[in-house]
Structure 1
């Protein structure tokens, strides 16, 4: 199973995109995940990790959140169904 963490900047008002990302991942993958944890941060951070591996980082990918790219990357992290 895969554990997802979304670290988001509280002062920047990124809670809403974090919740949107969390909801989308739970909707897409539900029981295939150990969980999707929201972790408050600061300094403009918005980072999505899967089992400690960075999937999305606002500093690298830019300010526009691409949920489809995140979903694809998480899907690639999940073990293949047998």
Structure 2
């Protein structure tokens, strides 16, 4: 079964647009590899956490920042399809 990416974001912080942008990028890049991307409003203020199924991939509070889209694509790729080439997102 294809994995589901969940982006948990803080609606009080106004991070819905950021989450939607990241979801769009992931769905475009991994259209054949993902079941989908779910946007989930967080119950805890300040939360911005990205999961693949139940596994945490990125946490804004732990990292002290938001992920760059290039970095996020690489993290997702490494978990779901390590052989996939990401084009310009693979360059250093």
Whole-angstrom distance in 2 between the partners of 1:16 and 1:63? 16
SS at match of 1:60: helix
- Per the alignment, in what secondary structure is the counterpart of residue 76 of structure 2? helix
Alignment of structure 1 residues 12-23 onto 2, 5 Å: 12-23=13-24
Verify: 1:26 aligned to 2:27, yes or no.
Answer: yes
Q: 1:65–1:80: structure 2 CA closer, same or farther, 3 Å change rule? A: closer
Task: Say which structure, 1 or 2, has more relative contact order (CA 8 Å, 6+ apart).
Answer: 1
Structure 1 residue 65: Cα displacement? 3.2
| Distance in structure 1 (CA, Å) of the matches to 2:27 and 2:13 | 24
Unmatched 5+ stretches in structure 2: 84-92
Aligned residues: 81
Distance in 2, Cα, partners of 1:6 & 1:71: 13
For residue 30 of structure 1, give the secondary structure of its aligned residue in structure 2.
Answer: coil
What are structure 1's unaligned runs of at least 5 residues?
Answer: none
Residue 80 (structure 1) shift = 5.4
Whose Rg is larger? 2
Tell me the equivalent position of 1:72: 74
Separation (CA, whole Å) in 1 of partners of 2:64 and 2:22: 16
Q: Name the structure where strand makes up a greater proportion of residues.
A: 1
